[in-house]
Amino acid sequence: MRKPALAVGFLLLAGCTSGNPQPEASISEYRSPVAEPVFTQDGINAGATGQEIDFNRAEPGVITAMSKLMGAGPVSVGAACSGLREARWKDGTALYFEPRAYDPAAFVGWQHGAESAGRTCAT
């Protein structure tokens, strides 16, 4: 008699979780930039830290790393021009990602002010 009640309890608990994992912390909660982003032809360097955000990295990690550099999360993330996704920050900086069949979208380009590298959308 206990087994059916236990099974029902597990079903109720399973219904309490969502199928979509939540990020570990809200990106918009960053308070101050950890380093100044240095935009290069191969991606983005994190100031003098020696860390790099190279092209072809997965979108979730790139957005998290860039948000730490910028001190805040992007104001928009979504479809951009044909075949690309875009994450855009308040200052106009945009990172571009190319969807892949079985992996997260890959970082393929950036635009910061009048400068850009990699694949971007025409402005």
Q: Does the structure show a pLDDT above 70 at 7?
A: no
For 95-120, how does the pLDDT look when each residue is reduced to its tens digit (9 = 90+)?
A: 999 999 999 999 999 999 999 999 99
pLDDT of residue 16: 42
Give the residue ranges of DSSP H helices in the chain: 2-15, 59-70
**CA gap 111, 94 in Å, rounded:** 5
3-class DSSP state of 31: coil
Entry pTM:
0.74
Residue with tokens 């809200």: 26
For 39-86, how does the pLDDT look when each residue is reduced to its tens digit (9 = 90+)?
A: 999 999 998 788 999 999 999 999 999 999 999 999 999 999 989 999
